[in-house]
Structure 1
Amino acid sequence: MFIVFLKFSYNKAAVTEHMSAHNDWIAQGFADGVFQCVGSITPAAGGMILALEDDLETLQARINQDPFVIHNVVHAEITQIDVKKTTPALDHLKGAA
């Protein structure tokens, strides 16, 4: 499992311009079964994605396709997590990546 922090970069002012494409990119991540949860970092610092992917390189390639990343609205920080315990509803996260 991976946690991706998308922290606002120097081009934060372009967020509105690229929001629709970014939301389409997020929707595709859910449709592909990779994104499990997304949310905003508060207060207004960027966003977070909980992702299930086979390996870091594949996830990095997906993140690099985010319009926010392409247009330097955010920079991505990816952290890999080896999940050991969950509530029963989140058992599918165990052993992921």
Structure 2
Amino acid sequence: MYIVSLTYTASLERIDDALPAHRDFLDAQFAAGLFIAAGPRMPRDGGVIVASNMERERLDAILASDPFAQQGLADYTVTQFKATRLAPGLNLPRPEAQ
């Protein structure tokens, strides 16, 4: 699993202009089963994505296709971790077939 932390490098006005395209990007990744949580940081200086079910190289390619990345609006920090405990009722996506 991965925690992706986005830090905005542009004004909120520019972020807001790109937000509809960024949300479409997120929708596609959720539909593909690759992202499992996403939202803005508080205060609103970036965002967080929780991703799973892929190799790091694939995640890097996906993040490079984010409109925020393509327009130079955010920097990305990726932290990989192995989830060994989950809250009751929370299930992890199943790993891809290797």
Contact map agreement 2:34 2:54 (CA 8 A) in 1: no
RMSD: 1.9
Q: Return the offset for 1:18.
A: 1.0
Contact map agreement 2:53 2:95 (CA 8 A) in 1: no
Deviations 1:25-83 (A, max 9, x none): 00001000011001111101110000013210000100000000111111111110111
Moved over 3 A (4+): 93-96
Answer 1 or 2: which has greater helix percent. Answer: 1
Q: Matched residues in 1 for 2:70 and 2:46: separation? A: 15
Letter in 2 for 1:7: T
Residue 52 and residue 38 in structure 1: after superposition, are their counterparts in 2 closer, same or farther (change >3 A)?
A: same
Structure 2: gaps spanning 5 or more residues = none
Provide the TM-score with structure 1 as the length reference: 0.87
Q: Matched residues in 1 for 2:93 and 2:82: separation? A: 9
Structure 1: gaps spanning 5 or more residues = none
Provide the TM-score with structure 2 as the length reference: 0.86
Match runs of 1:53-68 below 5 Å: 53-68=53-68
Indicate yes or no: 2:78 matched with 1:52. Answer: no
Residue 83 and residue 95 in structure 1: after superposition, are their counterparts in 2 closer, same or farther (change >3 A)?
A: farther
Letter in 1 for 2:37: C
Contact map agreement 1:53 1:59 (CA 8 A) in 2: no
Q: Return the offset for 1:6.
A: 0.9
**Count of aligned positions:** 95
Residue 68 and residue 57 in structure 1: after superposition, are their counterparts in 2 closer, same or farther (change >3 A)?
A: same
Residue 58 and residue 44 in structure 1: after superposition, are their counterparts in 2 closer, same or farther (change >3 A)?
A: same
Report what 1:8 is aligned to: 8
User: Secondary structure of 1:87's partner?
Assistant: coil
